Amino acid sequence: MKKNLVILTGAGISAESGFSTFRDSGGLWEQYNVEDVATPEGYNRNPQLVTDFYNIRRKQLIDAKPNRGHEIIAELESQFNVTVITQNVDNLHEVAGSSHVIHLHGELMKVTSSFSPNDPRYIRTLKPEEWEVKIGDTAADGSQLRPFIVWFGEAVPKIEEAITYVEKADIFLIIGTSLNVYPAAGLLNYAPADIPVYLIDPKEVHIPSYRKVYVIQKVASEGMEEFKKLMEE
């Protein structure tokens, strides 16, 4: 019987694919304030700016490719029941072949209603050629299409689902996250006390827990190669 491997991923898993986040230095994100492009208030103030911003991000994502870290996670499905819980809004886990991915913060290639963003009736996946959303493009309820992204200050609808998988984990792996963003950072507290916990990150990460964590201080692709070998021993 396969063990349950639950993997929490953050920006670090996609860094080698050239996909940056707010916390990376350099790149697109430093040209904008988080409050302007990743909050409901920013969207209400200037929907054109926010729409344009996510159009640029979407166009970048279309050209991005999964790296070896993503690929190894997908390959581990042959050994484990793998659940990926990601803070990332890219679809690189799915492109690499992962079959069970929980997106805590939404998905960049999806759009939804400005009135009811979490209503499944209004969530739509864009084809690559549909990456550009314009002001005036509407959801089925007549409201302006907005990105299907959980912005700062909004509830995280998938967190309860994520917790149920962490609670049943036999192995918990954390990759490329600062463990500063809640509620995702709190998932470690739901992992059973007697299971092994691994963390892969090239930087030193402050772990908000007293439990023992096996740290692999490498970039995601190299760290995943090491983790894979450990799982084969």
- Active site residues per annotation: 105
Phi, psi of 100 (to 5 degrees): -135, 95
On the 0-12 / 13-18 / 19+ scale of CB atoms within 10 A, 168 is: middle
Q: Name the H helices within 84-158.
A: 92-96
What letter does residue 105 receive in the DSSP assignment?
T
153 close to 105: Cβ distance less than 8 angstroms: no
Cα Rg of the chain (Å, integer): 18
Residue appearing with tokens 């759009």:
111
The token pair that represents 185 in the structure block: 């950072």
47-60 in b/e form (b: 16+ CB < 10 A) is: eeebbbbbeebbeb
What letter does residue 23 receive in the DSSP assignment?
T
Phi, psi of 128 (to 5 degrees): -50, -40
Q: How far apart are CA 186 and CA 20, in angstroms?
A: 23
Three-point CA angle 183, 185, 187, nearest 5°: 80
